Amino acid sequence: MKLSRIVVALALLGAAGASYWLYLRPPAVALAAPTRGDAAQIVYATGIVEPTNWAKVTPLIREHIVELCDCEGRRVKRGDMLARLDSAQADAALAELKEREKLATAEYDRLSVLQQRNAASQQALDRAQSEVGQVAALVAGQTARLENYVLRAPMDGTVLRKDGEVGEIAEPGTVLFWIGEARPLRIVADVNEEDIPLVKPGQRTLVKADAFPGRTLEATVDSITPKGDPVAKIYRVYLSLPADTLVMIGMTVELNIIAHVTQNALLLPANALQGDAVFVVEGDRARRRELKLGIRGTREVEVLSGLDEKARVVTPYPEKLADGTRVGLPGA
């Protein structure tokens, strides 16, 4: 019995000693050294690929489609008919107006003869002439409105896409045809207003599209719309694409606009920082330092001052570590 008690006591002492040693053991940290490389300031955006020269064809009235050209993918000339809407009621209205015009003209001619014989007053003749003019204006207006029932190509080009079917109702503003040139292409992107001061014409841009996984394509910033959208807080940016680009009209792409590049910059892993602060190991102690930073990337951050190349930086940033704490080093 005494022997077992001694064994238990020794076991408890051993456990207490191990716990005390674990408690006093300095926390282990991982270290990273600054590296040299290029730091790039990137503006991220998304955009849509579209032709540089193109136009949309939309109806101005709500009516059934009665005829559509079989022209998708084909060349058309300006003025060619693309679609026809049901104009039966409009044609009937025009026919009625022309009949009124015919009667009004006949009445004017009759009164002109009578007035020459002093059998009709000048006032009656003037009223008849006014009626002829009014009806003629109505005929001209209705004739012009009938043009809205025919959709025509607004430019020479290729019919890039055709929507709608015969029998469907065409709604005003709904695009039925996209007409333009398949090349050259451009990207129309929306850039947040806080980033737009960094974007300039001529900047190189890296393009990624889901259709080409693992491939990075090229574009160049061409122009920036002078006025932004105050509600969405975005500016429209146009980017030109090379003639041999792989992307196609209508594709959604991700953009990394390279706003600025610093070569041979001193770089640190981004997860080693909290704000502008890092922990640097000096001897066996961790010291907190405030740095002056430059370009901030998702993986690395440019250090302008406050750190030398031989520094040993704790990574990731130890949020619970106090300044001056003794730490355990790798291999120690």
Q: Is the pLDDT of residue 21 over 80?
A: no
Q: Parse the chain into domains and list their residue ranges.
A: 28-53+181-332, 55-170
Of residues 29 and 47, more confidently modeled: 47
CATH topology of domain 28-53+181-332: Elongation Factor Tu (Ef-tu); domain 3 (2.40.30)
Task: Point out the least confidently predicted range of 112-121, 129-138, 268-277, 308-317.
Answer: 112-121
Task: Point out the least confidently predicted range of 21-30, 117-126, 207-216, 251-260.
Answer: 21-30
Q: Is the pLDDT of residue 261 over 90?
A: no
Note the pLDDT of residue 2. Answer: 47
How far apart, in Å, are the Cα atoms of 123 and each of 105, 117, 129?
Answer: 16, 15, 10
Contact predicate 223/238, CB 8 Å: yes
Which residues touch 135 (CB under 8 Å, ≥6 apart)?
Answer: 97, 100, 101, 104
Q: Is the pLDDT of residue 16 over 80?
A: no
Residues 64-116: pLDDT tens digits? Answer: 999 999 999 999 999 999 999 999 999 899 999 999 999 989 988 888 888 88
For residue 24, name the pLDDT band (cuts at 50, 70, 90).
low
Contact predicate 220/204, CB 8 Å: yes
How far apart, in Å, are the Cα atoms of 325 and each of 25, 202, 311, 316?
Answer: 11, 50, 17, 16
For residue 331, name the pLDDT band (cuts at 50, 70, 90).
low
Residues 172-214: pLDDT tens digits? Answer: 989 999 999 988 999 999 999 999 999 999 999 999 999 999 8
Q: Is the pLDDT of residue 162 over 50?
A: yes
